[in-house]
Structures are given as C-alpha cells and as structure tokens.
C-alpha cells in the first residue's frame, strides 16, 4: 500500500513520516528567537529614523545627549532581572556604552 516513506527523525532518529517524529515537529523561528544582534539593528534603524544620529546620553553619568554616528544599544534592564531587549534599552554612543560596561563608578574616588 502506498504511503509516505518512513524516515528517521532528524532530532532523535526514531522512524517518522516527513523526517520528524511528533515529539520534534518543525518549528518556525519567531521574533523571540531572533538574536540580540538583529533586535539591536532594528532598534538602531528606528532610532535613526525617528531621532537621528544622536546619543541619548545618561545624565547620571554626566553625559548629556550629543550627535554622533557611532551609536550602540544599551540594556537598561538586564535579562537577569527579567527584562528583555525590547522593554528596556536606550541608544548611546559606543564610548559611553564601554564606560557603562566596566561597572566602574566615577564617584568612587580614593580618599573621597
Ligand atoms: Zn524525534
Ligand atoms: Zn554619548
């Protein structure tokens, strides 16, 4: 009797029709699966569209907004705290982002 040829599931190797068993169906990548890099690029595109080549600045860091083409996306809510890139970010210049990445606090001067 003609039927779909059974092939091993590409994930677990069990025989299945269509190359995948019911336990491992093909899953289309959704927005949540996009790597951060793609999300960052979209954010930067929108930012340049709506705001322009402007570093948003961070007043706490004595860093007011200024024009620059060297922009990068900075997380305000790290994922460790349950945040996502989409719900907590700002667009700042690369040098400011590098400063923030060190975790160094400028007010922490020795002999204060
Ligand atoms: Zn399988
Ligand atoms: Zn800046």
Q: Which ligand is nearest to the CA of 17?
A: 1
Q: Which ligand is nearest to the CA of 100?
A: 2
**19 CA to middle of ligand 1, Å?**
9
Q: Is 62 left (phi over 0), alpha (psi -120 to 50) or beta?
A: left
- Nearest in space to 84 (alpha carbons), one of 19, 34, 12: 34
Ordered by start, the domain boundaries in the chain are: 34-102
The whole-number pLDDT of residue 92 equals: 95
Q: How far is Cα 55 from Cα 72, in angstroms, rounded to an integer?
A: 9
Q: Over its length of 112 residues, how does the chain's per-residue pLDDT go in tens digits?
A: 556 678 898 889 999 888 888 888 887 766 555 567 788 888 999 999 999 999 999 888 899 999 999 999 987 765 555 555 455 788 999 999 998 875 555 555 454 4
**19 CA to middle of ligand 2, Å?**
52
Q: How far is Cα 53 from Cα 71, in angstroms, rounded to an integer?
A: 7
Residue with tokens 């994922």: 79
**18 CA to middle of ligand 1, Å?**
11
User: What residues have their beta carbon closer than 5 A to ion ligand 1?
Assistant: 9, 11-12, 21, 23-24
């Amino acid at each position: 009797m003609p039927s779909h040829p059974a092939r091993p599931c590409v994930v677990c190797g069990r025989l299945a029709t269509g190359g995948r068993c019911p336990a491992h169906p093909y899953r289309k990548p959704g927005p949540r699966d996009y790597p951060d890099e793609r999300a960052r690029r979209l954010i930067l595109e929108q930012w340049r569209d709506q705001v322009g080549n402007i570093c948003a600045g961070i007043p706490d860091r004595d860093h007011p907004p200024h024009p620059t083409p060297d922009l990068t996306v900075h997380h305000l809510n790290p994922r460790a705290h349950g945040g996502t890139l989409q719900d907590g970010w700002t667009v700042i210049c690369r040098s400011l982002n590098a400063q923030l990445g060190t975790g160094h606090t400028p007010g922490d001067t020795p002999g204060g």
